[in-house]
Amino acid sequence: MATGTDTPPRDDDPADATLVFHEQADGRKVSRLPGGKVVLVDFSALDRVGDGEAWYVKLRHRETFAVADPVEKVTQATLESSGVRLSSPLADAMRRATTVRPSAVPPPAAGAMASSPPIAATASQAPPTATERVQPHSGPATPGPVDLSRVLRRSDRVALFIDGANTDGAARSAGYFVDFRRALDFFQAHATFYAAFYYVADFTASDPMQQRFFDFLSHAGYIVRRRPVKVFRDQDTGERIIKGNLDTEIVLDLLNTVDNYDVAFLFSGDSDFERAVDLLRSRGKRVFVVSARASLSRELAYVADKPIVYLEDHRDVLARADRQAE
């Protein structure tokens, strides 16, 4: 791992752990420690660790993230045969990782997407912890893709606001990685394009994969909003808190640019945006939500304009052809 410098472990920084890692769009494998600290598999070991696999790893800590050196692959069967019981969250994660989902994307054709650069995900896009999830909304009983030509007028000025971490989780739930170049083409095809914003928490200041992703987004036409992750200490408990939430930046851009667009596509299912969406609609703006059914909060579903754009129904026009989410 060539990004940053290792820091001496703190009392709440474990030297090792057994974690389930998930593959991101750029091939990086990511997990989280209890408390939310992001763990990245060392570059040299990326090919050894598969999507959804559990590994016993040694950890090298940085201020805002940790680097994992894989030691041994772990399976639920081997642990149970040795008399060791997995903690419930880890057991559930391993069970989900080994379950084939009907929504999984079929293997891509050889040579597909040769013209598109790999999309690198960031550490902020690691699977959310239980405390970060919002109450999911089940969605309509009858799914179906949205025909944007019936929703938009050519004179409508369209803006995209993409919560990167939330969208990555929603896309994983839908069974594929979003091709953001195709997404931009799809959502502006029947209207007048104003701007597209992508929001991401920056855990690592010099990660080449992350920088490559930012370069790709900028080249594709996005305005990238990066916010460095900060570390705080609770004065009462001494607990370390890692913060990289960009909800405030998203709301500020939604409101500050309100005179420049007629229609906003908000890529998030987070209930924290309920009040902002309600306010924008009271000012005559149309705000459509783009998310997965399992990731969309009821609160946001209630106030957003309809129809809701569910990722599961738009795989043909939004999915990357060169990678799939397991």
Per-residue pLDDT reduced to its tens digit, 65-80: 889 999 999 986 665 6
More confident residue, 290 or 64: 290
Tokens coding 205: 């200041």
The values of phi and psi at residue 15, to 5°, are -80, -20
Q: Please give the mean pLDDT across all residues of the chain.
A: 78
Cα angle 225, 317, 146 (rounded to 5 degrees) comes to 95
Q: What confidence tens digit (pLDDT) does each residue in 168-224 have? A: 889 988 999 999 999 999 999 999 999 999 998 877 666 788 888 889 999 999 999
Look at residue 251 in the predicted model and tell me its pLDDT: 96
Question: Is the pLDDT confidence value at 127 over 90?
Answer: no
Alpha-carbon gap, residue 129 to 223, rounded angstroms = 28
* Residue-wise DSSP of 39-69: EEE-GGGTTTSPTT-EEEEEEEE-SSEEEEE
Task: State whether residue 216 is helix, strand or coil.
Answer: helix
Domains of the chain: 16-97 (2.40.50.140), 123-318 (3.40.50.1010)
Write the CA distances from 44 to 8, 18, 49, integer angstroms.
22, 19, 10
Question: Is the pLDDT confidence value at 233 over 70?
Answer: no
Q: What confidence tens digit (pLDDT) does each residue in 85-98 have? A: 555 555 555 555 44
pLDDT band at 120 (very low <50, low <70, confident <90, very high): very low
More confident residue, 166 or 98: 166
Tokens coding 104: 């999984």
For residues 134 and 178, the answer to whether their CB atoms sit within 8 Å is no
Q: What's the rounded mean pLDDT across residues 278-297?
A: 96
